[in-house]
Amino acid sequence: MESAGENVPQENHTLVEFILLSFSELPDLQGFLFSVFLIIYVIILMGNGLIILITKVDSSLQTPMYFLLGNFSSLEICYVSVTVPRLLTDLCRENRNISILACAIQMYFFLVFGATECSILTAMAYDRYVAICNPLLYSLIMNNRLCIQMASVCWISGFPMYIGFTYQIFSLPFCGSNQLNHFFCDVLPVIMLACGDTFMIEMLIYVVAVVLVTIPFMLILGSYVKIISTILKLPSATGRAKAFSTCSCHLMVVALFFGSGIITYMRPKSTHSTGIDKFLSLFYTIVTPLFNPIIYCLRNKDVMVALKKFLLKWVRF
């Protein structure tokens, strides 16, 4: 096998594009899948757009919690827009070629926005921790300056971090088939097309996953252990119910996003299969962003009240 790899060094460097197979194994369902993903994409844009709008215009939502929620919704729009428009385009055409550069750019922004989502969900957990465990100091700790700083760090920190990581992946030699059996340039499918020794880059993926996914998840988990412990000590049943209500939306979103991400990137290589990986990728790239505005609108009374007020104003207008 090694000698075969050594015979194709020129091919490795002349490879300038991949072919995204997307869902080509379902030729009769291309139109149906296009319609489904288009509807989901529009719902994600509209749902998150509404949340951004009402958190900006409604005075009752001018709090750190909803400031972070507005940032989170903005991020969700960016996150899905990295993959879904390309997926919709590929479902409508035969030529699904993507240049190595375009593939690298898509992967880079997908990783950046994914890391930013981990950070913002962690910041939202900290906000809930301070609100419930230190309510008397909440307005002092979660001031406007800290909120802006937290949001800025969440948005900016991922950009320089993934330049080297993406460069390392696309510095690998690619040989044999250039057919990428996925609907976007995700890390694991791209590495599967590489030849030679990929052990170091696979170890790097695990390190990055631990640092940027597992550690934020553990911080969130630790925050909620203290939050739940504090809530259970509240003397009033109404107070406990209200406290749980403010946290339940965030917990559901955390479980959806981190659960699918950890299963995808942290499970052993021997358990990977193209079908399962593609399904899991659909879950955390499209399904989770679809549920987020639904969860926050239907399970959050403040958002529902603000949304009704906003819609009534437009109807009267």
Distance CA 213, CA 221 (A): 12
pLDDT tops 70 at residue 140: yes
Tokens of 188: 């694991």
Examine residue 10 and state whether it is found in any structural domain, yes or no. no
Q: Number of structural domains, the chain?
A: 1
Residue 242 lies in a domain: yes
Tokens of 216: 């934020």
Give 19-61 pLDDT, tens digit per residue.
999 888 888 999 999 999 999 999 999 999 999 999 998 888 8
In a domain, 3, yes or no: no
Q: 39 lies in which domain range?
A: 15-316
CATH number at residue 173: 1.20.1070.10
For residues 127 and 191, give the distance between their C-alpha atoms in angstroms, rounded to a whole number.
38
Length of the chain (residues): 317
Please report, rounded to a whole number, the percentage of residues in the chain having pLDDT higher than 70.
91
Question: 9 lies in a domain?
Answer: no
107: in domain: yes
Question: What do you get for the CA distance between the two ends of the chain, in Å?
Answer: 71
Please say if the pLDDT value at position 94 is more than 90.
Answer: no
Contacts (Cβ under 8 Å, ≥6 apart) of 22:
87, 90, 91, 96, 182, 183
Q: Is residue 262 part of a domain?
A: yes
Query: Order of strands across the sheet with 17-20?
Result: 97-99, 17-20, 179-180
Q: 14-18, 292-296, 301-305: lowest mean pLDDT where?
A: 14-18
**pLDDT band, very low/low/confident/very high, at 15 (cuts 50, 70, 90):** low
Output b/e per residue, 147-181; b: 16+ Cβ within 10 A: beebbeebbeebeeebeebbeebbebebbeebebb
Name which of 295, 308, 310 is nearest 124 in CA terms.
295
For residue range 238-259, list pLDDT tens digits in order. 878 877 877 888 888 888 888 8
Single pTM value for the model? 0.88
- Sort 273 into a burial class: Cβ within 10 Å, 0-12 / 13-18 / 19+: exposed
Most distant CA atoms of the chain, gap in Å: 75
- Asked if 263 and 279 touch (Cβ cutoff 8 Å), the reply is no
Rounded mean pLDDT of the chain? 86
Residue 222 included in any domain: yes
- Residue 212: the pLDDT is 82
Q: What is the secondary structure of the chain as a DSSP string?
A: -HHHHHT-HHHHHH--EEEE-TTTT-GGGHHHHHHHHHHHHHHHHHHHHHHHHHHHH-GGG-SHHHHHHHHHHHHHHHHHHHHHHHHHHHTT-S--EEEHHHHHHHHHHHHHHHHHHHHHHHHHHHHHHHHHHSGGGHHHHS-HHHHHHHHHHHHHHHHHHHHHHHHHHHTS-B-S--EE-SSS--HHHHHHTB-S--HHHHHHHHHHHIIIIIHHHHHHHHHHHHHHHHHHT-S-HHHHHHHHHHHHHHHHHHHHHHHHHHHHHHS-GGG--HHHHHHHHHIIIIIHHHHHHHHHHHS-HHHHHHHHHHHHHHHH-
In a domain, 8, yes or no: no
